[in-house]
Homo-oligomer: A and B are copies of this chain.
């Protein structure tokens, strides 16, 4: 007869396998670019403000889904990056959306503090052009 412990272990294995299958199905929907990256729009789930645009590789995406906190790939530092790791301005991810082509993502987040390293709430705080300039 199997011990309760080994039964628990086998159930855990089943759950892990299920999770891996689920993850595989998700990743099938996604097209990473030639550098293995996909652009991610971080959007405030409450106000709908667009906070930033960054990039994720497969590992960053897995870490995000595993932890529930936004992870990205830093192209300049060439490293996995948990948003807010040093600043404390973490992003709790409520859901992840994928576009029709599978080549862009939205992280819907609860932003702690400000998203931008400049101290602004959003990285998009500068206006480049507006329609009134054509009048």
Contact = CB atoms under 8 A, between A and B. Distances in A.
Contacts of A68: 131, 134
Interface residues of A, number: 44
A123 interface: yes
Which of A65, A97, A126: most chain B Cβ within 10 A?
A97
Contacts of A92: 131
A1 interface: no
Nearest to A67: B134
A27 to B, nearest CB: 9
- Count the copies: 2
Contacts of A93: 131
A52 interface: yes
Contacts of A14: none
A124 B106 contact: yes
Contacts of A100: 116-118, 120, 123, 125-126
A127 B96 contact: yes
Given A97-B127, A99-B123, A120-B100, A39 B65 contact: no
